[in-house]
Chains A and B, each alone.
Chain A
Amino acid sequence: MDKFTTLTGVAAPLPMANVDTDKIIPARFLKTIKRTGLGVHLFDTLRFDADGAERPEFVLNQGPYRKAEILIAHENFGCGSSREHAPWALLDFGIRCVIAPDFADIFHNNTFKNGILPIRLPRAVCDQLMEDARQGDNARLTIDLAEQVVVRPNGERIRFEIDPFRKHLLLNGLDDISQTLQHAPSIDNYEARQVQEKSWMPGISV
């Protein structure tokens, strides 16, 4: 996983609530055995018409936003399925940070595993950032994870909160399996205890 330290880039305004994972990437594109290459299908039905032509009104089809690295949205971003193809598609397109008032839980988890930073900020602040984003290339945002701030084009610094453990993993590009394996002795102990205390629990074999 790539580290996330600081990011300065174009932010795309997506003023929609309840952006669900079927919108981010429809199920018909999940038939892959790879993590990469999904960016071309990101927001497929919003981005393309039935014939595959670009919809000019959709933000990611417009000038500077084709290279957007940050997305600003409304409430409950990423609701719906557990498909990690949603953050994979965002990442493959080039999005490394999503800012919204709140996120659906599973999507929120999935972003961190892929080096994408989800930032929760109050709706009023998101609306200000949405205005900045509407100025495209003329108003880049900077995200500084170590400092936990979003810097607006006018220099204003907006503090955001993040779970310290997740921050540590993102800043250092660490994957959590290797972190968890440091606790292998505890897992061994737990399993030994479980064999004693839950001897009723059968194993599965076919």
Chain B
Amino acid sequence: MADSKPRTLFDKVWDAHVVEQLSDGTCVLYIDRHLVHEVTSPQAFEGLRLAGRKVRRPDATIAVADHNIPTEGRANGIKEEDSRIQVETLERNVVEFGVPYFPIMSPQQGIVHIIGPEQGISLPGMTIVCGDSHTSTHGAMGSLAFGIGTSEVEHVLATQTLLQNRAKNMLVRVDGVLPVGCTAKDIVLAIIGIIGTAGGTGHVIEFAGPAIRALDMAGRMTVCNMSIEAGARAGMIAPDETTFAYVRGKPYAPKGEALEQAIDWWRSLPADAGAVYDKTVVLDAATLAPMVTWGTNPEAVVAVTATVPDPAAEPDEAKRAQLARMVEYMGLVPGQKMTDLTIDVVFIGSCTNGRIEDIRAAAAIAKGRHVAAGVRAMVVPGSGIVRDQAEAEGLDKILLAAGFEWREPGCSMCLGMNPDKLTPGQRCASTSNRNFEGRQGPGGRTHLVSPAMAAAAAVTGRITDVRELG
């Protein structure tokens, strides 16, 4: 770039992928990695077939089934017919179009956003897309990663590019040191509580500051994963030594001299001094407490020590009606303490919190305790690799002894596409990313929390401040 204006991380990755800028500013943007799953791809492959088109870069594409596969007894096949047809369709399409695929029974199988980084397929400085909004997860690598619809999936398969307009830059800087008992999940829930579910619309958020730098890669992925819940197009974290150490030795990552060359370039990606952001939000991590959502969007979040808000205190009529609807749907009473809410189900897993670090955090709480009477608690590892690692560490035994279910990898109860669903009225402490009405099953009530908070709810049978369990 001839332009010497200081650039942000997003600016640099974007500029490095502009194939052509059209007269009205729309860019043809090159895509380095395309992740494909069973739910949002069948119509895209069908479109290619009808137009007689091929997949332009099978070697930049990876497919996996994750959304609607069962998380137990998988070796016996998929019982639900429509789910089975979708997976079989993917398996036919990857053969017909020559796309690399991790089969359901292979250890590499897992949630698409867990396996990308885990396999070294998602790397810093890349553009990464997938027909799933939580593609923002991969931004933790220092890549520009975002979700797309099925028409765009077809567009990338056919052209390896997308037509895009440049997003604006937003900086979320998290200062200070995170208190004991708080995690990356609490950081991102707090951020969404501040900026709102549309606070990032039209922007790419760069998360920065000492509290973000101090996170391991798993925590950074949790933060970037939920950027979309703030409406952002993507979330990114500048690559640093933590990132490079993570990448080393991953199966599909460059090795030896090639890796050193890559790292040389990756070191040039962090924002230049004086780079300008269209919006900036600053947060002090030291002021945080473990967070829990009370309503039906992720912005409806409070500290676990707080009470259910009173809609009557909201001056705007439309907002007041929306808050009242949330209170009613969630079966709450304004002013009620969050810690007085009893729980029916606990779900630990998803692309937000299904990594080995999350399973360890849950097991640390579960160890020597037992799931409360009447509570069903599921742990669903994010991938076969995570599952194998957890079993190698004996975490499965700790969890099983404590009364948790230990299941096979997939999206599971995050979105209720497979048999793992809430029934109407059930209240769930969940490590997933969305608490929308009916998200985990029709009539289900979701409280989003960190893995440690979810495990704490499982053993006490109610929303619990994990710091009190010691």
Q: Is the CB of B297 within 8 A of A200?
A: no
Known: A27-B415, A30-B39, A74-B318. A187 touches B152 (CB 8 A): no
Q: Is the CB of A104 within 8 A of B417?
A: no
Q: Is the CB of A84 within 8 A of B24?
A: no
How far in angstroms is the closest Cβ of chain A from B119? 9
**Chain A residues within 8 Å of B154, by CB:** 177
How far in angstroms is the closest Cβ of chain B from A180? 5
Question: Is A148 an interface position by the 8 A CB rule?
Answer: no
Q: Is the CB of B159 within 8 A of A20?
A: no
Known: A27-B439, A76-B201, A187-B28. A113 touches B46 (CB 8 A): no
Give complex CA distance A165, B26 in Å.
8
Known: A30-B417, A33-B89, A204-B62. A109 touches B438 (CB 8 A): no
Pick the contact of B442: A45, A105, A114, A163 (CB < 8 A): A45
Q: Is the CB of B297 within 8 A of A18?
A: yes
The DSSP consensus for interface residues of chain A is: loop
* Number of chain B residues whose Cβ lies closer than 8 Å to a Cβ of chain A: 83
Q: Is the CB of B197 within 8 A of A23?
A: no
Q: Which residue of B lies closest to A194 (CB)?
A: B30
Question: Is B179 an interface position by the 8 A CB rule?
Answer: no
How far in angstroms is the closest Cβ of chain A from B116? 11
Interface 1/0 per residue, A31-62 and B, CB below 8 Å = 11111000000000100001000000000000
**Chain B residues within 8 Å of A45, by CB:** 437-438, 442
Q: Is the CB of B261 within 8 A of A203?
A: no
Interface 1/0 per residue, B409-426 and A, CB below 8 Å = 000000111000000100
Q: Which residue of A lies closest to B108 (CB)?
A: A206
Question: Is B286 an interface position by the 8 A CB rule?
Answer: no
Q: Is the CB of B417 within 8 A of A105?
A: no
Pick the contact of A102: B43, B198, B228, B252 (CB < 8 A): B198
Give complex CA distance A114, B149 in Å.
11
Q: How many A-B residue pairs have CB under 8 A?
A: 200
Question: Is A164 an interface position by the 8 A CB rule?
Answer: yes
How far in angstroms is the closest Cβ of chain B from A202? 6
**Chain A residues within 8 Å of B231, by CB:** 76, 79, 104-105
Q: Is the CB of A75 within 8 A of B198?
A: yes
Q: Is the CB of B417 within 8 A of A81?
A: no
Give complex CA distance A34, B50 in Å.
13
Interface 1/0 per residue, A115-152 and B, CB below 8 Å = 00000000000000000000000000000000000000
**Chain A residues within 8 Å of B352, by CB:** none
How far in angstroms is the closest Cβ of chain A from B196? 9
Question: Is B259 an interface position by the 8 A CB rule?
Answer: yes
Interface 1/0 per residue, B263-284 and A, CB below 8 Å = 0010000000000000000000
Question: Is B406 an interface position by the 8 A CB rule?
Answer: no
Pick the contact of B133: A50, A106, A163, A177 (CB < 8 A): A106
Question: Is B233 an interface position by the 8 A CB rule?
Answer: yes
**Chain B residues within 8 Å of A27, by CB:** 415-417, 439
Size bracket, chain A contacts: 35 or more
Q: Is the CB of B24 within 8 A of A109?
A: no
**Chain B residues within 8 Å of A74, by CB:** 318
Q: Which residue of B lies closest to A114 (CB)?
A: B151
Q: Is the CB of A106 within 8 A of B148?
A: yes
Interface 1/0 per residue, A155-196 and B, CB below 8 Å = 000000001110000000001110111011011001100100
How far in angstroms is the closest Cβ of chain B from A36? 10
Known: A27-B417, A105-B202. A35 touches B163 (CB 8 A): no
**Chain A residues within 8 Å of B100, by CB:** 204-206
Give complex CA distance A199, B253 in Å.
12
Question: Is B258 an interface position by the 8 A CB rule?
Answer: yes
Q: Is the CB of A186 within 8 A of B28?
A: yes
Assuming A34-B43, A187-B28, what are 14 further A-B pairs, CB within 8 angstroms? A15-B318, A22-B415, A26-B438, A27-B416, A31-B80, A31-B83, A31-B86, A34-B42, A45-B437, A104-B201, A180-B159, A198-B265, A201-B126, A201-B262
Point out residues on B near A: beta carbons under 8 Å: 19-20, 22, 24, 26, 28, 30, 32, 39-40, 42-43, 46, 51, 53, 59-62, 67-68, 80, 82-83, 85-86, 89, 100-102, 108, 121, 123, 126, 131-133, 135, 146-152, 154-155, 158-161, 163, 165, 197-198, 201-202, 228, 231, 233, 252-254, 258-259, 261-262, 265, 297, 318-319, 322, 415-417, 424, 434, 436-439, 442-443
7 residue pairs A–B, Cβ–Cβ below 8 Å: A32-B42, A76-B198, A82-B131, A84-B150, A104-B198, A110-B152, A186-B28
Which 7 pairs across A and B sit closest by C-beta, in order of nearness? A203-B59, A113-B151, A84-B149, A33-B42, A110-B149, A82-B147, A31-B82
Point out residues on A near B: beta carbons under 8 Å: 15-18, 20, 22-23, 26-28, 30-35, 45, 50, 74-76, 79-84, 87, 102, 104-106, 109-110, 113-114, 163-165, 175-177, 179-181, 183-184, 186-187, 190-191, 194, 198-206
